[in-house]
Structure formats: structure tokens, C-alpha cells
């Protein structure tokens, strides 16, 4: 174990805050400030400060587990790996490669994501691979690609935010999801800029806003179109910019003009004067930005919703100019890099399309295989999970906990239980790992080196600071051992730097070109923005700011995409009259698999709750802290009431970090965006009851609905038809 401080990065969100790690004499690890990293300048949230707690053998896995007689028991590594390999071999021989599924995670390093995608396509030969990052920012990625020809969460560094004139923040609660980033908005206001926050809740972030708009959940698309209508009507279009740097404006303008302010007010509940004020604040400064997060993106029309906000930026000349632009606040630690290098169902490394013959040829040459041997695109994340136990008989899962994090979670849990075989690689015994036939304990962020790509598109080097405990191996070692057992003896090194060197070659010439980045350079410079091609001289500086000269389309112009408002896949009715929206709290992270094992974080956020307006609480007869039941067409969740005027009277909110009876994702609707295949986490119809009134008939009804899935199929039909 080393004795000096090791500079590295936090394992949680996409800020990837810098920190120093120092092993202590008692075997623990101390976190200290790393002020040189520009994103957080030493500041850390509670999750970052307590991250080493999960390194303890008290809370983590340190031995492989295999299921015997229905119970998970310790096993040797050879026994566990042999069992997985034997099952994969048998199922592939009997049912074909697409009977094997692979599910990854947005927290995996670039090296792991790359190796997992290669393993699925080269070793298993399956098309059935996707990852939980599909649930993060796939809608923003799809919209950004349509408009700009390229998706990178932020096309500019965070340091630009305080220097712009106005930020419209849509569906993001930075104060709780990425606390160190809130200072960029604070500095924006200190510099004379303005902040507009759009959220149905008056969150800690909304409290900082100069203007807070609280639309009805599921109406962000109408809101954006209404603002664009006002931009046109008030003569605020940057006509010169539109003519010189865009195409498709005529159609997009016509679509926006169908959304006049009074119509938008009826849909969203946002008064017309506040719409006009938002337009004034956005258009008067020389520069402005729109930043979106999961609020507008996790909808069955998320791609169109983000597209409408991009259209607003383009019409006002707020893209591809200094201190202006559209950006997406990526959520997961490596949500950006995780989808760039091959674990997404339709992509190859370097952000190449799996359907592009030239992309297949290039990557196949790096991999030393025939391009024709590579499978085509597979199912998206929810569709893959929904197919488990039918034509997908076996699943290898790394770095994800869909029992808690997937929409319609009770159904997904049932699908996982129906598998012939489930193998899970994880740090802890998550709720999903508890269902597995084999569980493999893997190394954590502080015990291994590897790269991640932050929400800025900045490639970063995490450094190994401590030695992992006996009995634990890295995910790369797992893939190497399985590949060897399945007859592929070369091409899967366990050394992360060796994997990265191959990733560089595979990404070369692609949209996400990492070929000019090396471990040595990352260690020296502290991070490099992609694209960074190697070129002839090998000294490309990286690209902190995209699109200043041209967009990544064939003609260099940004594309307006005409969009129109449509309802959510599931609207309230007499039986389910209230809207549910979901999100996070500051002391927990994602499915909570790791943060729920940290005493300090549990003390701050011990369990789920239902946030509701006093008027709704009065109608129910519910008091603060009373257990209430939230019931959707998919199931029922129970949690204490938290009564606040900071939420709309027609809406309730639940955080999604917990399993059990308070599992918010039991309720959520997997109706999918037709382009991104993003489920509609952020809006569904529910009813709220006091627990004493929720009788067994209601519970039985909810259970039957969860099994039947009729509402899900109907919701998807609505989306497809529109």
C-alpha cells in the first residue's frame, strides 16, 4: 500500500471531482482536497468525502459467490468463472449467440466499457448489449446528433458558465445532484448574469434562480416551443446567424408558431408574462446558454423536447459562439465515455455507427476479425431487460442495479428471476446481485487505474491508490478469463493502459477521437478534451469548445428539427388523477447500491418519501410523516409524506434510490421515446392514498397490472403513433 497522496477523481457523478487519496495506518483511506482540478477546486459533496467507506470489507464483496440449493455461497474464482463459461457455451450452442445478453453501466471506465462491447461482439457474437446509460442522457445525445452532427454533453467547459449572460437550466437540481457545480451558477449571478430554472418543484437550485418556471410535468416541449414562438413574434431571431450557419429554419419556425403563448399557458400552467420574461432574460445579453438534464430528457418525447431547446438556441444565435450554446448535464460518472466506445446497442468505439460499413471495417481491423462477423444493432436497455427469460436466456451484468433503477421495476425484477442464468460483477451485493447464479467481486475506483470522460468531454485519469483485498479482481481480468475459457486467448488484456492504447486506435478517425490522448499526457495535463486526433505531429491540444468554426455535419451547418408538442404517454384520469415525477437527493446516488452502505449518508437520507403539496395532503387527510401509498398502473409504493409548497398541487415527487415498498421505479412508465428509446421516468399518472385506505384489493389490482403490462404496451403504441 502506498503512503503518499495519490491524485485521482471521485467515483460518483459526471463532474468527476478531483481529490487526493492517502492510505492511513489503520487500513482506511483518507480523502483530502485537490485544489488544482478546475471543476471542483477542492470542494467535495458528502458522497465524495465518504466514498472510501465502500472500500471497507465490512460492506463489500471479497469472494465469488455461486448459487447452491437456492442460496449464494462462497466459491473459488476458478469455480465461478468455469460455471459462467460453461453456461455461456451451452446456451450459445443450443440457442444461438443472441440468447446471450450483456448489460453494462455508465460508471464503468472507458477501458471496461470498450472491453465489454468487444467481448459481447467478438467473444459471444451477440447483438444483445446495452447499458444503464441509456436511462441517463440518450435523448439529449439523439437530439444533439440530429442538430449538430455530434453529441458531447457540454460543448464547452464548465468555466464558461459564469461568463455568459443568462443560463436557462431545464429539469436539473444541481444543488443536490452535483453540489460542487452550483458555484458556477453562483458566480454567474455575481458577474451580473441571470439564471432561469425550469422545474415543477421549487428545489434548492430553483431557490437560486432569478426566474423559476414550474411547468406541469411532461410539458417541457410545449414550453420550449412557446418561448421560440415569442422569439419570432418579438423580432428576436438572429436572422444573419440563421442564414449563415443553419438549415431547416422555415419548417421549425412554422411548428413553433402553432404554439402561441396562451395555448402554452393552458398546457404548462406557466403564465404568459413569465414566458415573456424568460425570453427577455435569455435574449438581451450578448451570450446565453441552455442546459438540460433528466427532467426534459427522461420522457417518451425527450428527443423532441431537447430538440426544441436546441432550436431556441439556434434561432437566437446561441450555439457555436463563445460563451453560448446548448449543453446536457450528464449524470453518471462515465455516462459520456460509457456510450462512446461500444457498450451501447448501436455503436462501435469512437462513436461510430454499427450500421456503417466503413466503421465496421475500421474497428474489425483493430480487433483482428472479419467485419461480417460483427453482429448488428441490438435492443435498447429496457427492451433488452423486458426480453429476459424469453429469447434472451442468460445475462452477464456489470456495474448496474436494474432491480432498483429500471422503470416498471417489479416487472424487470420478475424478468431477471426468469433467466436460466444470471452472472453479476459488482462491488457490493446489490439487489440485482442477490438474484444472480454467480456473483463476482470486482475492484473499485481507488484500487485500479483507468480513464473516465466527464460531462465536459474531458478525458481524465483515475489512478490506483491502494491494493485491492485478496479475493477481488478487476472487470478487465474477468473478461480476459472468460474470453480465454470461451476460446479467445488474445485481445483481452487485463492492464488498463494496454486496453486504452487499443481504444485509441479503434477511436481514431471517429467522432469521439481519443487517438491523440495517452496515459502519460493525462497524468501530465490533468485531462484532455476530445476530439483529440493523433494527427501527423501528435500534438493536438484537444477541443474544449466545439462548433466555433463549423458544426459536425457534412456542410458544417446546424440543423433545425421541426417538433410539435404531444401529451405524455400516460395522462391523468379519474382513476389516476395525479402526476408522479422522480429524482435524486443530495446524500444518495443512483440506485443507492453503494451510498446506502455509508452510515453518514444514511443518517442524512435514511429512506424514501413522497413529496406533496398541502392542498393534496389536506384532501387525503395526510399529515407530515404519515405513510402514504402511491399507486400507478404498474404497482404500488409506500413512503412517508413530506408536505411542501415547493411542488405543484397536481404533482407528487419520489426519490428513486431505495428498494422495497418505497421503490419509486415500481411505479414509473417504460413507454419509450421512438428515437432514443429512453423510458418515461419523469412523468406518469398515479393516485395517492393514505395507507389505511389502501386495501388489499388495490394491492392485488396493482400487482395484476404489473404482470399484464397492458398500460405499457398501450403507452408505447401512443408514442409510436405520434
- Compute CA 334 distance to the chain's CA centroid, rounded to the nearest angstrom: 9
Domain final residue, candidates 529, 554, 570: 529
Sign of CA dihedral 395, 400, 403, 405: negative
The answer to whether residue 563 is domain-embedded is: no
Whether residues 488 and 348 fall in one domain: yes
Distance CA(350)–CA(368), nearest Å, equals 17
Give the confidence band of 535 by pLDDT, cuts at 50, 70, 90: confident
The answer to whether residue 142 is domain-embedded is: no
720 or 603, greater pLDDT: 603
Task: Name, in order, each residue with C-beta under 8 angstroms of 206's C-beta and a sequence gap of 6 or more.
Answer: 173, 197, 199, 212, 214, 646
Span 592-597, average pLDDT: 96
C-alpha grid cell, residue 31:
480523502
Each residue's pLDDT tens digit, 311-363: 999 999 999 999 999 999 988 889 999 989 999 999 999 999 999 999 999 99
Question: Given a cut of 80, is residue 57 above it in pLDDT?
Answer: yes
Question: Given a cut of 80, is residue 432 above it in pLDDT?
Answer: yes
Element (H, E) at 705: helix 696-708
Residue tagged 448496474 (cell numbers): 400
Which domain CATH number covers 190? 3.40.228.10
Domain final residue, candidates 529, 560, 587: 529
Whether residues 71 and 51 fall in one domain: no
Whether residues 520 and 423 fall in one domain: yes
Span 35-59, average pLDDT: 95
Task: Name, in order, each residue with C-beta under 8 angstroms of 520's C-beta and a sequence gap of 6 or more.
Answer: none
Q: Which of 577, 702, 700, 570 is nearest to 636 (CA)?
A: 702
Each residue's pLDDT tens digit, 212-232: 999 999 999 999 999 999 999
The answer to whether residue 149 is domain-embedded is: no
Task: Name, in order, each residue with C-beta under 8 angstroms of 505's C-beta and a sequence gap of 6 or more.
Answer: 366, 515
Distance CA(717)–CA(722), nearest Å, equals 9
Each residue's pLDDT tens digit, 68-111: 999 999 999 999 999 999 999 999 999 999 999 999 999 999 99
Whether residues 183 and 253 fall in one domain: yes
Q: Could you give the dihedral angle defined by the CA atoms of residues 131, 132, 136 and 140, in that order, rounded to the nearest 10 degrees?
A: 20
The answer to whether residue 566 is domain-embedded is: no
The answer to whether residue 546 is domain-embedded is: no
> Which range of residues forms the domain containing residue 25?
6-55
Q: Which residues pair with 213 in a beta bridge?
A: 198
Distance CA(641)–CA(643), nearest Å, equals 6
Whether residues 631 and 650 fall in one domain: yes
Phi-psi region of 542 (alpha: psi -120 to 50; beta: other; left: phi over 0): left
Q: Which of 8, 79, 11 is nearest to 444 (CA)?
A: 11
Whether residues 265 and 375 fall in one domain: no
Q: Out of 22-26, 268-272, 539-543, pick the least confident.
A: 22-26
Give the confidence band of 693 by pLDDT, cuts at 50, 70, 90: low
Which domain CATH number covers 345? 3.40.50.740
Cα–Cα distance list, 659 to 135, 245, 382, 405, 431 (Å): 18, 49, 18, 9, 8
Task: Tally the C-alpha atoms within 13 A of residue 310's C-alpha that lie toward its C-beta.
Answer: 34
Each residue's pLDDT tens digit, 636-646: 999 999 999 99
Whether residues 709 and 599 fall in one domain: yes
Percent of the chain with pLDDT over 90: 93
Question: Given a cut of 60, is residue 698 above it in pLDDT?
Answer: no
Q: Which of 329, 213, 221, 313 is nearest to 269 (CA)?
A: 213
pLDDT, residue 508, reads 97
Distance CA(507)–CA(504), nearest Å, equals 5
Name the average pLDDT for the chain: 94
Distance CA(399)–CA(381), nearest Å, equals 14
Whether residues 172 and 130 fall in one domain: no
Question: Given a cut of 90, is residue 40 above it in pLDDT?
Answer: yes
Span 152-169, average pLDDT: 97
Whether residues 680 and 702 fall in one domain: yes
Q: Which of 504, 198, 457, 244 is nearest to 330 (CA)?
A: 457
pLDDT, residue 25, reads 84
Span 674-696, average pLDDT: 88
Do residues 362 and 354 touch, judged by C-beta distance below 8 A? no
Which domain CATH number covers 583? 2.40.40.20
Question: Given a cut of 50, is residue 713 above it in pLDDT?
Answer: no
Which domain CATH number covers 31? 2.20.25.90
Whether residues 266 and 395 fall in one domain: no
Give the confidence band of 3 by pLDDT, cuts at 50, 70, 90: low
pLDDT, residue 697, reads 41
The answer to whether residue 568 is domain-embedded is: no
Span 653-677, average pLDDT: 98
> Residues, the chain, total?
722
Domain count, the chain: 4
Whether residues 198 and 242 fall in one domain: yes
Domain final residue, candidates 328, 354, 377: 328
pLDDT, residue 709, reads 38
C-beta atoms surrounding 713 within 10 Å: 11
- Compute CA 458 distance to the chain's CA centroid, rounded to the nearest angstrom: 17
pLDDT, residue 537, reads 78
Question: Given a cut of 80, is residue 418 above it in pLDDT?
Answer: yes
The answer to whether residue 627 is domain-embedded is: yes
Phi-psi region of 450 (alpha: psi -120 to 50; beta: other; left: phi over 0): left
C-beta atoms surrounding 104 within 10 Å: 30
pLDDT, residue 704, reads 43
Whether residues 75 and 45 fall in one domain: no
Question: Given a cut of 50, is residue 712 above it in pLDDT?
Answer: no
Question: Given a cut of 70, is residue 702 above it in pLDDT?
Answer: no
Distance CA(279)–CA(284), nearest Å, equals 8
The answer to whether residue 537 is domain-embedded is: no
Cα–Cα distance list, 387 to 84, 96, 98, 406, 535 (Å): 20, 15, 11, 14, 44
Amino acid at each position: 500500500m502506498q503512503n503518499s497522496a495519490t491524485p485521482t477523481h471521485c467515483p460518483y457523478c459526471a463532474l468527476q471531482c478531483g481529490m487526493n487519496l492517502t492510505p492511513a495506518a489503520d487500513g482506511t483511506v483518507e480523502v483530502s482536497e485537490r485544489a488544482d482540478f478546475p471543476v471542483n477546486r477542492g470542494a467535495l459533496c458528502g458522497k465524495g468525502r465518504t466514498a472510501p467507506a465502500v472500500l471497507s470489507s465490512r460492506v463489500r464483496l471479497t469472494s465469488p459467490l455461486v448459487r447452491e440449493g437456492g442460496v449464494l455461497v462462497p466459491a473459488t474464482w476458478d469455480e465461478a468463472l468455469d460455471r459462467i463459461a460453461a453456461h455461456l457455451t451451452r446456451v450459445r450452442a443450443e440457442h444461438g449467440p443472441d440468447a446471450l445478453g450483456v448489460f453494462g453501466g455508465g460508471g464503468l471506465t472507458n477501458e471496461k466499457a470498450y472491453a465489454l462491447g468487444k467481448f459481447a461482439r467478438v467473444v459471444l457474437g451477440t447483438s444483445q448489449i446495452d447499458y444503464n446509460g441509456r436511462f441517463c442522457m440518450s435523448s439529449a445525445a439523439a437530439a444533439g446528433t440530429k442538430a449538430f452532427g455530434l453529441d458531447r454533453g457540454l460543448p464547452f467547459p464548465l468555466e464558461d458558465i459564469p461568463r455568459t449572460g443568462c443560463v436557462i437550466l431545464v429539469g436539473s437540481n444541481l444543488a443536490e445532484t452535483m453540489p460542487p457545480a452550483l458555484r458556477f451558477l453562483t458566480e454567474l449571478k455575481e458577474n451580473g448574469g441571470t439564471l432561469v430554472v425550469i422545474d415543477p418543484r421549487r428545489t434548492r437550485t430553483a431557490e437560486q434562480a432569478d426566474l423559476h418556471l414550474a411547468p406541469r410535468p411532461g410539458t417541457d416541449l410545449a414550453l420550449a416551443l412557446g418561448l421560440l414562438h415569442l422569439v419570432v413574434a418579438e423580432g428576436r431571431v438572429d436572422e444573419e446567424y440563421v442564414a449563415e450557419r443553419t438549415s431547416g429554419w422555415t419548417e421549425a419556425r412554422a411548428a413553433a408558431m402553432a404554439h402561441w403563448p396562451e395555448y402554452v399557458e393552458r398546457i404548462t400552467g406557466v403564465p404568459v408574462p413569465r414566458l415573456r420574461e424568460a425570453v427577455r432574460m435569455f435574449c438581451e445579453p450578448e451570450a446565453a446558454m441552455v442546459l438540460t438534464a433528466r427532467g426534459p430528457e427522461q420522457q417518451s418525447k425527450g428527443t423532441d423536447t431537447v430538440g426544441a431547446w436546441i432550436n431556441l438556441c439556434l434561432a437566437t444565435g446561441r450555439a457555436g459562439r463563445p460563451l453560448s450554446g446548448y449543453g446536457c448535464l450528464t449524470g453518471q460518472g462515465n455516462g459520456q465515455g460509457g456510450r462512446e466506445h461500444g457498450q451501447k446497442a448501436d455503436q462501435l468505439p469512437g462513436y461510430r455507427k454499427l450500421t456503417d460499413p466503413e466503421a465496421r471495417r475500421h474497428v474489425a481491423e483493430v480487433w483482428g476479425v472479419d467485419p461480417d462477423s460483427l453482429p448488428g444493432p441490438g435492443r435498447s436497455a429496457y427492451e433488452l431487460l423486458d426480453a429476459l427469460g424469453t429469447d434472451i436466456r442468460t445475462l452477464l451484468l456489470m456495474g448496474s442495479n436494474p432491480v432498483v433503477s429500471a422503470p416498471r421495476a417489479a416487472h424487470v425484477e420478475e424478468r431477471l428471476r426468469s433467466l436460466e442464468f444470471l452472472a453479476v460483477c459488482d462491488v457490493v451485493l446489490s439487489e440485482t446481485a442477490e438474484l444472480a447464479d454467480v456473483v463476482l467481486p470486482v475492484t473499485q475506483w481507488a484500487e485500479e487505474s483507468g480513464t473516465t470522460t466527464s460531462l465536459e468531454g474531458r478525458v481524465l485519469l483515475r489512478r490506483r491508490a491502494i491494493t485491492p483485498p485478496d479475493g477481488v479482481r478487476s472487470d478487465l481480468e474477468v473478461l480476459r478469463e472468460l474470453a480465454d475459457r470461451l476460446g479467445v486467448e488474445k485481445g483481452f488484456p487485463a492492464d488498463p493502459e494496454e486496453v486504452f492504447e487499443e481504444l485509441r486506435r479503434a477511436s481514431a478517425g471517429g467522432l469521439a477521437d481519443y487517438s491523440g490522448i495517452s496515459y502519460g499526457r493525462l497524468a501530465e495535463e490533468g485531462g484532455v478534451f476530445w476530439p483529440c486526433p493523433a494527427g501527423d505531429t501528435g500534438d493536438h491540444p484537444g477541443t474544449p469548445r466545439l462548433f466555433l468554426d463549423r458544426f459536425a455535419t457534412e456542410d458544417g451547418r446546424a440543423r433545425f428539427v421541426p417538433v410539435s408538442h404531444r401529451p405524455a404517454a400516460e395522462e391523468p384520469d379519474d382513476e389516476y388523477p395525479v402526476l408522479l415525477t422522480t429524482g435524486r437527493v443530495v446524500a444518495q446516488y443512483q440506485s443507492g447500491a453503494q451510498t446506502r452502505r455509508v452510515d453518514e449518508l444514511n443518517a442524512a437520507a435514511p429512506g424514501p418519501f413522497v413529496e406533496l403539496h398541502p392542498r393534496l395532503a389536506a384532501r387525503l387527510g395526510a399529515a407530515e410523516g404519515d405513510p402514504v401509498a402511491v399507486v400507478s398502473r404498474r404497482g404500488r409504493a409506500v413512503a412517508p409524506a413530506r408536505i411542501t409548497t415547493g411542488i405543484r398541487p397536481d404533482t407528487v415527487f419520489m426519490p428513486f434510490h431505495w428498494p422495497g415498498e418505497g421503490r419509486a421505479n415500481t411505479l414509473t412508465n417504460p413507454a419509450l421515446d421512438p428515437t432514443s428509446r429512453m423510458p418515461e421516468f419523469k412523468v406518469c399518472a398515479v393516485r395517492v392514498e393514505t395507507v389505511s385506505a389502501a386495501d388489499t384489493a388495490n394491492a392485488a389490482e396493482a400487482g395484476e397490472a404489473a404482470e399484464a403490462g397492458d398500460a405499457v404496451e398501450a403507452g408505447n403504441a401512443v408514442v409510436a403513433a405520434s
